[in-house]
Amino acid sequence: MTEAATRFVTPVTFQALTGEPVFVDQWDARIDDNMAHIALSRRADAMLVAPATADFLAKLAHGLADDLLATMCLARDCPLLAAPTMNRQMWLHPATQRNVAQLVADGVTILGPASGDQACGETGLGRMLEPLELVDELAAFFVPRTLAGRHVLLTAGPTYEPIDPVRGITNLSSGKMGFALARACSAAGAQVTLVAGPTALATPRGVQRVDVRTAQQMHDAVMAVLDAPPASGTLRPDVFIAVAAVADWRVANASERKLKKRSADDLPKLEFAQNPDILAAVARRADAPWCVGFAAESEDLEANGAAKRAAKGVPLLVANIGHATFGRDDNELLLIDERGSQPLPRADKAQLAQALVTEIARRLPPRRG
């Protein structure tokens, strides 16, 4: 911590919350040779300064070393990242912008800042990224950019088919696997468009999100992205990953008013119509992107998954037991392609997403010009 940082939160508070020692003094006696700037920096795979104030960015840009943190940054032999935090006018000041440009030229990775409400009461650029966003950014920093230059379009979450204005048919999908995969694709360097069914999950940083409710809306949103004319800075999707648990049927005679409870021998007569098959429709296109399907099965995982891959006409099918994963933070997957099957053992969905991105990148054909 810098001396200024200790004016906001005491070292004792940080130590109590983290269970880790906190260092402030360059001459801390807990370090055997009193060279904390060397000993501490050599333990790190990366250093992240958060918050990085205008003053500290200026120190870094000019190589000053008048406190422990600045000296550590000069003495490091690992990557350095900084999360700027300051008033909007301070961020936009030419001096700050010169310092940031110099730091980028020196190889420092700048994370943010974000725009929003500031402690001073003003609004604008200068907010530090949220802590969980910084965790995601730091994790992504170490991920190989295996999908750089790719645009990944994916679906996630459940769909909801209305019966009447207050009731509907849905499923237990939480969207966690699809959102983890969107985050992993973005970390691997891809431009990501996420078409999401009803879920309360936060949008992964850097991901373009389109919210829908029904299967038909999800189909239309996917096709709209595929049919959109090229725009500046936007790549045409060349990978499609269908993770969403899409309803196979919808209620054809959904009521515009709430259906009232009646006698047991006078139940509402629901009529069903088949929803569009989004994955098959995308795979059939003449300009189809490279497609990955997901299959949520209840039994005979390999046989059912292989049959679905053949029926959909996709190069890769990812199968799992639906009721054993919906709503959970972990999962296990079976990858099925023309060569056979390959299991991905049970793990956290974020870890599985990273492993799946590696497998997708390995299988992808060269990008079309």
- Residues taking part in catalysis: 120
**Would you list the DSSP string of 208-243?**
EEEE--SHHHHHHHHHHHHHSPP-TT-PPP-EEEE-
Q: What element of type H or E holds 268?
A: none
Contact 176, 134 (CB under 8 A): no
Q: Is the dihedral of CA 123, 116, 138, 97 positive or negative?
A: negative
Residues 6+ away with beta carbon under 8 Å from 11 = 1, 22, 24
CA distance 66 to 59: 9
How many C-beta atoms lie closer than 10 Å to residue 366's C-beta?
5
Signed CA dihedral, 242, 248, 253, 258: sign only: negative
For the chain, the 3-state helix, strand and coil shares in percent, each to the nearest 5, are 35, 25, 40
Q: 3-class DSSP state for residue 292?
A: strand
